[in-house]
């Protein structure tokens, strides 16, 4: 075969796929077929390519049984979410999804119970318990404070009450017909006086 013929065969064989796919123009198809009819080497190569192409196209689609997908169906039936979905959904969305899967009466009952639990937890953590006088006495150690400490504390409290009293008088804030702090201040002054004279123990009856 001449070199011209070899190069012709080379280009014709490059066009085999194009011919099989129907991508060649009519003119190209004519040139292709006329060469293949005259050239046994290209005819053989063409038949080989066509045989493989036909065999590939005839390979069957594989049927997928239900058994293969059983785990997948179980996943869908159980409604379990994948990891990504769990991370993507907010807590509220997850609770909403959970509630949607239960009866209506349970949804409202669950919501009410949830609110009640939250309220109880908040009240325990925020509200300080009110201690009675007995608890106060029990929790404080009387012997820790000297008489001078108590006198000093009463003095400071008296100064503070005096300031509040003056403020009350200036702004004319009264309860009933009396200024708020006056009786308190009188009581503190009396206690203060008693402690100074050491004739009375303020811790037994209280300064106020």
Task: Give residues in contact with another protein (CB under 8 A).
Answer: 17, 44, 47-49, 51-53, 55-64, 68-69, 71-73, 75-77, 79, 81-85, 88
Q: Whole-angstrom Cα distance, residue 186 to residue 165?
A: 11
Which residues on neighbouring strands pair with residue 140, listed in sequence order?
A: none
CB of 109 to another protein, least distance (A): 27
Task: Name which of 48 and 145 has its Cβ closer to another protein.
Answer: 48
DSSP per-residue codes, 139-181: HS-GGGS-HHHHHHHHHHHHHHHHHHHHHHHHHT-EETTEESS
Residue whose CB is less far from another protein, 61 or 171: 61
Give me the residue label for tokens 């925020």: 126
Burial class (CB in 10 A: 0-12, 13-18, 19+), 1: exposed
* C-beta closer to another protein: residue 9 or 208: 9
State in angstroms the smallest separation of the CB of 105 from another protein: 25
Choice between 73 and 106, CB closer to another protein: 73
Q: Provide, rounded to whole angstroms, the least separation between the CB of residue 117 and another protein.
A: 31
Q: Which is nearer to another protein, 77 or 175 (CB)?
A: 77
DSSP for residue 82: P
Rounded alpha-carbon distances, angstroms, from residue 46 to 22, 28, 40, 191? 14, 15, 10, 122
CB of residue 94 vs another protein: minimum separation in angstroms?
14
Q: Work out how close the CB of 131 gets to another protein at its nearest, in angstroms, rounded to a whole number.
A: 54
């Amino acid at each position: 075969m001449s070199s011209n013929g070899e190069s012709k065969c080379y280009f014709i064989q490059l066009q085999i796929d194009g011919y099989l796919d129907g991508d060649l123009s009519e003119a190209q198809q004519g040139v292709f077929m006329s060469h293949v009819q005259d050239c046994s080497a290209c005819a053989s190569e063409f038949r080989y390519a066509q045989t493989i192409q036909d065999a590939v196209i005839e390979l069957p689609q594989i049927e997928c049984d239900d058994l293969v997908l059983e785990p997948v169906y179980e996943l869908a039936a159980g409604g379990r979410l994948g990891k990504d979905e769990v991370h993507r959904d907010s807590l509220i969305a997850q609770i909403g999804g959970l509630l949607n899967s239960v009866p209506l009466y349970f949804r409202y009952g669950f919501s009410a119970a949830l609110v009640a639990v939250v309220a109880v937890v908040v009240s325990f953590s925020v509200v300080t318990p009110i201690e009675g006088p007995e608890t106060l006495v029990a929790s404080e150690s009387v012997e820790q404070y000297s008489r001078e400490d108590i006198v000093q504390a009463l003095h400071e409290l008296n100064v503070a009450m005096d300031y509040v009293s003056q403020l009350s008088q200036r702004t004319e804030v009264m309860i009933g017909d009396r200024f708020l702090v006056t009786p308190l201040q009188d009581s503190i002054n009396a206690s203060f006086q008693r402690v100074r004279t050491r004739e009375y123990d303020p811790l037994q009856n209280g300064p106020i």
